[in-house]
Amino acid sequence: MRDLLPVLERWYAARVPFGLATVVSVSRSAPRGPGAAMAVGPDDEVVGSVSGGCVEGAVFDLAQEVVAESEARLATFGYSDEDAFAVGLTCGGEITVLVRPVTPETDPAFGAVAASVGSGEPVTVATVVDGPARRGAALAVWPEAVAGSLGDPGLDVAVTADARGELALGATGLRHYGPHGERREDSVSVFLHSFAPPPRMLVFGAIDYAAAVARIGAFLGYRVTVCDARPVFATPKRFPEGVEVVAEWPHRYLRGTETDERTVICVLTHDPKFDVPLLEEALRRPAAYIGAMGSRRTHDDRRKRLVEAGLDERELARLRSPLGLDLGARTPEEVAVSVAAEIVALRWGGSGAPLTATSGAIHAAGSA
């Protein structure tokens, strides 16, 4: 979508209707993931791709029909068992594509969304894919604003909360609801397309606990990097696939790495020569969570050293040490769950208490 924006904004500003096709789900070895887009505009101009060439011809025809009828359509493409030469994916996969007409009348928020995406401002676009709601209806959700509607106030509220949760992780995918936003029903399918890079999780200390924390971090949607000054431990084969592994002194790596208000920093080195200079750097830069592993005694010694390094009480108050919630965890995997639980609770303002000990709504207003 980012690559298509200059053309789409030109069409939109000229009030020229165009058909926008978006991949909303894939299976097996489909060549493009959810969010891949293609648009068909005036004079049969085409930009983008949904499959790398396999089904573009069929999508082109569908987009023309959608614009002519001003009604969104859903189509699934894959190999045809009856005719191997039918429109299909040569890789054997399957994609489902939503094609909807876009004009200032059908999608008044599109211009604002395009401007946000172009400027790097996070935004999620929620679009009805199927069910008892108007297919193609769109709701744009920013961290502090909303535009558009999916056609029902309850559905808008539920989707807005989930869209902000997906936006916090830079995640994209299908969600399912009841017609009025009921979370235990699945009659309405909504595609949440987040325009934000996934947040980073920086794990320092290539110990066995780090592999478990990295694994659960990736599961939660973070882009995970593990860093350790010892090359013998900082090797990719010791960590889950897709996790970046860096052999460098932790504080030097962090000093050269950009962080923001979504970044999670987990310090598992529990060695003063590593973690004190690292935390001195971490506690003075943007981050959503900064946690350090160690015993109470280790924490007291670490805190004393950080005070001697010049950190004040406001900076020290950001440190979660010992990191994690009190779950009675013992194994690396259990400790990783404890750390992940604290990260989620901090992000959404959760108490960490058992739900049986709380009352009122489980999901606070504005949360996912």
pLDDT at 169: 79
> Is the separation of the CB atoms in 94 and 76 below 8 Å?
yes
Q: What angle do CA 272, 273, 274 make, to 5 degrees?
A: 90
pLDDT band at 259 (very low <50, low <70, confident <90, very high): very high
User: 156-202, pLDDT tens digit by residue?
Assistant: 999 999 999 888 878 889 999 999 999 889 999 999 999 987 889 99
> Is the separation of the CB atoms in 79 and 95 below 8 Å?
no
Q: Compute the distance between CA of residue 73 and CA of residue 21 in angstroms, rounded to an integer.
A: 9
Q: Compute the distance between CA of residue 227 and CA of residue 182 in angstroms, rounded to an integer.
A: 43
User: 209-235, pLDDT tens digit by residue?
Assistant: 999 999 999 999 899 999 999 999 999
**What does the radius of gyration of the chain's CA atoms come to, in whole angstroms?**
24
Question: Picking from 96-105, 163-172, 287-296, 310-319, which range would have the lowest pLDDT averaged per residue?
Answer: 163-172
pLDDT at 46: 95
Q: Mean of the pLDDT values across residues 88-92?
A: 52
Q: Compute the distance between CA of residue 261 and CA of residue 289 in angstroms, rounded to an integer.
A: 9
pTM to 2 decimals?
Answer: 0.67
Q: Say whether pLDDT at 104 is over 50.
A: yes
pLDDT at 82: 41
Q: Tell how strand 244-247 and strand 223-228 pair up.
A: parallel
Q: What angle do CA 20, 196, 175 make, to 5 degrees?
A: 65
Amino acid at the residue 238 = R
pLDDT at 61: 95
Alpha carbon of 98 to those of 55, 166, 262, 357: distances in Å? 13, 20, 31, 43
Counting residues of the chain whose pLDDT is more than 90, the rounded percentage is: 72
Counting residues of the chain whose pLDDT is more than 70, the rounded percentage is: 92
Contacts of 313 (CB under 8 A, 6+ apart): none
User: 8-43, pLDDT tens digit by residue?
Assistant: 999 999 999 999 999 999 876 566 789 999 999 998
pLDDT at 14: 94
Alpha carbon of 18 to those of 97, 291, 331: distances in Å? 16, 49, 55
Calculate the average pLDDT of the chain. Answer: 90
pLDDT at 38: 94
Q: Say whether pLDDT at 368 is over 80.
A: no
Q: Say whether pLDDT at 331 is over 90.
A: yes
Q: Say whether pLDDT at 244 is over 60.
A: yes
Alpha carbon of 117 to those of 1, 94, 108, 194: distances in Å? 9, 28, 16, 10
pLDDT at 144: 92
pLDDT band at 78 (very low <50, low <70, confident <90, very high): confident
Secondary structure (DSSP) of 105-168: TT-TTHHHHHHHHHHT--EEEEEEEESSS-TT-EEEE-SS-EEE--S-HHHHHHHHHHHHHHHH
Q: Say whether pLDDT at 360 is over 80.
A: no
Higher pLDDT, 51 or 52: 51
Q: Say whether pLDDT at 365 is over 50.
A: no
Closest CA to 77 of 4, 23, 19, 135: 23
pLDDT band at 91 (very low <50, low <70, confident <90, very high): low
> Is the separation of the CB atoms in 140 and 113 below 8 Å?
yes
pLDDT band at 203 (very low <50, low <70, confident <90, very high): very high
pLDDT at 30: 62
Cα distance between the two ends of the chain: 25
